[in-house]
Amino acid sequence: MSRRGTTATVDFFQERAPLSQQIVAYLGAADPVMARLIDAVGPYGLVPKAEDAPFRHLARAITYQQLNGVAAGTIFRRLVAAFHPDDPEAFPTPAQLLAIAPERLRAIGYSGSKVAALKDLAAKALDGTVPDTATLLPLDDDAIVARLTAVRGIGRWTVEMMLMFQLGRPDVLPVDDFGVRNGFRLAYGLRQLPAPRALAHFGTRWAPQRSAAAWYLWRACDLHKAGRLPEPLRPAPRLRVRAVRTRAARSRVRR
């Protein structure tokens, strides 16, 4: 993950168009498969939504966990309407969300575990664990992951999506994301999904533009569905990660 903080983020927002050209040129030079994928997809199109506050972003992420988009969107709109019935763009404050009765959240459509997660999110926003965007910007990616995964129900993948889609961090590779792994499988001609560790190792060649690489791997899935994905180059890459034998495995070998 990138350790670049405020400067990299501000540059990403202010110079996105010329930077996009530099990104695709860099990735194409670093990886011939990525070059073919870029040619098939076109310009880099990830546009961060910088105005979304971390508290609201994480509340939305909790809402959408394990639900299809339509159902989650309905529940999220109900949450907003419970506090701001006339302003769908507004959002409750952490204090308001902490004070609302759990039964009301259940009636809106939240499960018991998600109610607990929302309450913990609100409490950690009030105590400063979940800060505003201005406080997050100077922090490096790993520090943000460590800080925000302290919230109940928020895992690394959720924070990685926030780093990419809200903060515009350029060097995030969400190796646990199914779409990224499947896009790699399709673009590189693998028979099986790459293991996260193997993908992370392979992806070091894309640094410091791994966010763009992830975006193009998502697009590879779209191209495959449309029948427009370029044929994989041969031979397919061999993904190698140093094997670590467990004590049990070593014992079986000795036997």
Give the CATH class of 54-165.
mainly alpha
What's the pLDDT score for residue 145?
98
Give pLDDT, residue 109.
97
> 255 versus 111: which is more confidently predicted?
111
Exposure b/e, 21-47, CB count within 10 A at least 16 = b: eebbebbbeebebbbbbbeebeebebe
- Say how far apart CA 236 and CA 216 lie, in whole Å: 18
Tokens (6 digits) for 175: 């190796």
- Whether residue 247 is predicted with pLDDT greater than 90 in this model: the reply is no
The string of pLDDT tens digits covering residues 43-72 is 999 988 877 899 999 999 999 999 999 999
Q: Directed axis angle between helix 156-165 and helix 141-148, to 10°?
A: 130
Per-residue model confidence (pLDDT) at position 160: 97
Which range, 17-26, 220-229, 242-251, is most confident?
220-229
Tokens of 223: 């191209």
Task: Return all residues near 238 (Cβ < 8 A) that are at least 6 apart.
Answer: none
Contact between residue 59 and residue 96 where contact means Cβ atoms under 8 Å apart: no
Nearest to 92 by CA among 77, 102, 103: 77
Residue 248: burial class (beta carbons within 10 Å; 0-12, 13-18, 19+): exposed
**Structural domain spans, the chain:** 21-44+171-226, 54-165
Q: Is the pLDDT reported for residue 223 higher than 60? A: yes
Residue 238 is predicted with a pLDDT of: 84
Per-residue pLDDT band at 37 (split at 50, 70, 90): very high
CATH architecture of 21-44+171-226: Orthogonal Bundle (1.10)
Residues with catalytic roles: 177
**CA–CA separation, 16 vs 1, rounded Å?**
20
